[in-house]
Amino acid sequence: MAWEDVVVPLYGSRRILTPWVPGLRPTETQLLGLSDAAAALDQQLMLEGLQQVDLCGVSYGAMVATRLAADFPERVRRLVLVAGQVRPPRLAMRAQSAALRLVPAARLADAGVSKERLLQALEVTRSADLTQALERVQAQTLVLVGAKDKVNQPGSRALADGIPSARLRIVEGAGHALNEEAPRALVELLRDFLDD
C-alpha cells in the first residue's frame, strides 16, 4: 500500500482517509477531468461528514487537490502538494506515457493499478492548466518535491509562487513519490505543518 508507512504513524492523532482519486479506481469505467474529479472527491468527503479538511495529494492527486482547494476554498484548511504541476510539460508527459507503455500490465495490477487507467490519466493531465485556479486557493499550503525529482521541480515552484500562502520545501535524497521513497521525512513534514 503506497500510503501505509505515512498513515500508520499519523493515525492516532487525527482522522485519516486515503480515498482513490475519483476516476482512477481500477473498477471505475470513466476517467474524470480535474474539475469533475475534485467535485467528486469533495462529495466523498462530505459524505464522510467532513466539513473542513487537511488535504494531501501526490502527482496527479496533487493536481486534483489543488483544483478542489480552488473550487471549494472554504472546505480546505491546509493543503500539502507533493510533486504537483500547474501545467505539466508536454515533452515530459509524452516520455512518461512512452515509458508506461513498456511496463507490463500485470506488474501494475499487482499494485492495484490499471495500466489503461494510468495512460488515460496521463492524457487528462497533459491538457490540464491550473494557472487561473492558484490564486483562488485560500488554504495554508506546503509544496513538497524530492531533490531527485527534476521533472516536477519547476511545477512545484510554480505552485508555490502562484498560491498566495504557499511555501516550498525540497526533500533531500528523495525522488517523485515521497510517500513511498521517504515516508519518514513526509510524516515529519506533515506533522510539523498540520500541527502548526
Task: Give the CATH number of the domain where residue 52 resides.
Answer: 3.40.50.1820
Q: Is residue 32 part of a domain?
A: no
Vertex 14: Cα angle to 137 and 42 (nearest 5): 40
Paired strand residues for 144: 82, 169
Looking at the fold, whether 63 and 120 belong to one and the same domain comes out as no
**Residue keyed to cell 513534514:** 189
Number of domains in the chain: 2
Residue 159: which of 72, 78, 80 has the closest Cα? 80
Q: Are 57 and 111 found together in one domain?
A: no
Same domain, 140 and 174: yes
Give dist(CA 6, CA 77) in Å, integer: 20
- Grid coordinates belonging to 59: 502527482
Residues 67-122: tens digit of each pLDDT? 999 999 999 999 999 999 998 877 676 777 677 777 787 777 666 667 777 777 77
Report pLDDT for 127. 77
Residues of the chain scoring pLDDT < 50: 1
Assess contact for 34 and 71: CB atoms under 8 A: no
Q: Say whether both 110 and 195 belong to one domain.
A: no
What per-residue confidence (pLDDT) applies to 141? 98
The pTM assigned to this predicted structure is 0.86
Contact 174, 147 (CB under 8 A): yes
pLDDT given at position 21 = 81
- Cβ contacts of 122 within 8 Å, gap of 6 or more: 93, 96, 97, 100
> Considering the chain, what percentage of its residues have pLDDT values greater than 70?
93
| Residue ranges making up the domain that contains 79 | 1-19+48-88+131-196
